[in-house]
Structures are given as structure tokens and as C-alpha cells.
Amino acid sequence: MAMQATRRLASLSLQRRLLLPSQTEAPSIPTAAAAAFLHSHATSFGYRQIREEDKSKLVGNVFSSVASSYDLMNDLMSVGLHRLCKDRLISKLNPFPAMKHLDVAGGTGDVAFRVLERIKSVSHRAMQGTLTETEEDTHIYVCDINPNMLNVGKKRAAERGYSEEHCLSWIQGDAEALSFEDGSMDGYTIAFGIRNVTHIEKALSEAYRVLKRGGRFLCLELSHVDVPVFKEIYDVYSFSVIPTIGELVAGDRQSYQYLVESIRRFPNQEKFAQMIQEAGFQRVEYENLVGGVVAIHSGLKL
């Protein structure tokens, strides 16, 4: 009996040594690359986990690659629906003459042109075609981190006869660290751009900072479908059709694969609304379009 007890104790001791290494044993030393990753916060790039400091460059590469075909691809991918969604965004913004408005991640000018056209339409109806002082005070700022996207927008602006000196400015800048003064804007829009920033909460905080009291925040973004059967169809279309269109039209499958994946990683409507509230905005609400494929979130700085 004593011999059996001794063997059991020896066996348990061996198991402990196998499961719990001695405190005196030196821990394994990670490689330099692993150590650098451990000391860096991780974020997502589509479905990949990457270092935060790498995301801006990778996203920049995507939009540099797709800049020249960006609007054409939007038309093809959405069958033109992105135009109606942007029209709805402007309708909710309700622009007015003398407005100071900031459109972030809007390099191609699609949203900015709509804002200007709505303001000119309002002024025309009010003054029967005469240019008013308040219209001259209108200024729309287009801020985008990618110079290639801005170049596309400037070219389109010239084709439309918009004078940069008069009412439209193109600014290369980061949504997470805007160069505009506190309380300087009447409105802030960001369309199909906020899911690409590294820290969404920083972009929201900056939006709140630059808006005046009473200023409106509006975000148009691809979101989460809430109808089960439609969701299955949308998933097949997203992961099979969109990258293929990107490859055939833009010669870039990889960038459009990232864009599809980035949509799935973006917070759902309720979670994003909560983030907007946490940034300080009040009267936060959202409107689903096309069954949740797209959502417009809004909030007021009061």
C-alpha cells in the first residue's frame, strides 16, 4: 500500500511539472516582429488583423488604385442606387445659403456638388436668379486623405464650372485629426468613408468638435441587412459579383474584396448609433435604405 501511494504521488508530481513549468524556467523570447506586434494595437483591414499604424497606408493604396474608376464602379455595383442614397442624404441635410459645410472622405465631389446644387436651387427660388450676398458666403470644404481621389474631384469640379476660390475648397486631411477650427461648420457629412478610418470614435469626436451648436452630423454608410432571405442574396452578390466586376472593369479584384469585407466588419446600425451618442451628439437616429444595405445615421450638436 505504501509503495502504491508513493507511485501515485510521483505520478501527480510528474503531471504538475508537465502542466505547470517551474517559475525558474526562462520564458520563451518572441521574435522581433512578434514583439513589435504585441506592443502595437491591432485593427482590421477587411477580414485581416493588422497593426493600427499600417491601416491608413493600406486603405490609401486601395483608394489610389480605384480612384479613376470609383464613380463608374459605384454605378455598376449599386445599379445606380448610390445616387438616390446621396440624394436622400442631402434631403436630410437640408442645405441653406451661407452655409459652411464639411464633407469628409468625399474626394470625388459627389456629395459636395449636390450640396451646392441644392443651395443654388434654394437661392434661385428665393431671389429669382440673382446672386445674393448669402449665397456668396456659402462655402463647402471637401476633405479627403487621398490626393488621387481629390484630383478626380477637382477635375469634375472644373468640368462643372465650379470656382474653387468662390465656394469650394479641396483639403487633404485625416478624418481623425481635422485641421478646421472648433465650432466652424454648420454641417458635416461623410458618405461611404467612415468604415475605412482606423479609429471610428476619433472621427466622430472630430466631427463633433468642428460643428457649431445646432450643427448636423450625417453619415451615409453601407450597413447590415436585416431581412434574412435578402441577406443571403446580398452576401452572394457581395462576395462573388462585386470583386468580379472590380477585376473586369477596374482591373483590381483585391481592392473590391477588401471593400466588401470592410462592410461586414463595420458596426451594425444600433451599435454605430450608440457610438455617435457617446461622441456627444443628441437626437441620434438612423434610416435604413434598401433593406439595410445602406443606412443614414444623423445627430445634432446641441
Domain ranges in the chain are: 57-127+135-301
> Is 175 assigned a ligand-binding role in the annotation?
yes
The pLDDT value recorded for residue 13 is 38
Q: Could you give the CA distance from residue 119 to residue 124 in angstroms, rounded to a whole number?
A: 8
> Is 144 assigned a ligand-binding role in the annotation?
yes
The pLDDT value recorded for residue 247 is 79
Nearest-CA neighbor of 188 among 101, 116, 113, 286?
Answer: 101
The pLDDT value recorded for residue 37 is 37
Is 97:132 a contact under the CB 8 Å cutoff? yes
The pLDDT value recorded for residue 68 is 63
> Is 295 assigned a ligand-binding role in the annotation?
no
Q: Could you give the CA distance from residue 296 to residue 233 in angstroms, rounded to a whole number?
A: 22
Nearest-CA neighbor of 219 among 92, 45, 72?
Answer: 92
Q: Where do we find the cell 428665393?
A: 126
Tell me the CA distances in angstroms from 248 to 67, 73, 152, 236, 259, one per residue in order.
Answer: 16, 10, 21, 18, 16
Per-position pLDDT tens, the chain of length 302: 444 444 443 443 333 333 333 333 333 334 444 334 333 455 544 445 546 555 565 555 555 555 666 677 777 778 788 899 999 999 999 999 999 999 999 998 999 999 999 998 886 566 555 545 556 789 999 999 999 889 999 998 988 888 665 789 999 999 999 999 999 999 999 999 999 898 999 999 999 999 999 999 999 999 999 888 888 888 888 888 888 887 787 677 887 787 788 888 899 999 999 999 999 999 999 999 999 999 999 999 99
CA dihedral (165, 108, 174, 269) in degrees, to 10, reads 130
What residue spans of 211-268 are helical by DSSP H?
228-236, 242-245, 253-265
What is the pTM for the complete model shown?
0.76
The pLDDT value recorded for residue 19 is 33
H or E stretch including 140? strand 139-144
The CATH classification number of 57-127+135-301 equals: 3.40.50.150
Reduced DSSP (H G I as helix, E B as strand, rest coil) percent helix, strand, coil of the chain, to 5: 55, 20, 25
H or E stretch including 88? helix 81-93
> Is 174 assigned a ligand-binding role in the annotation?
yes
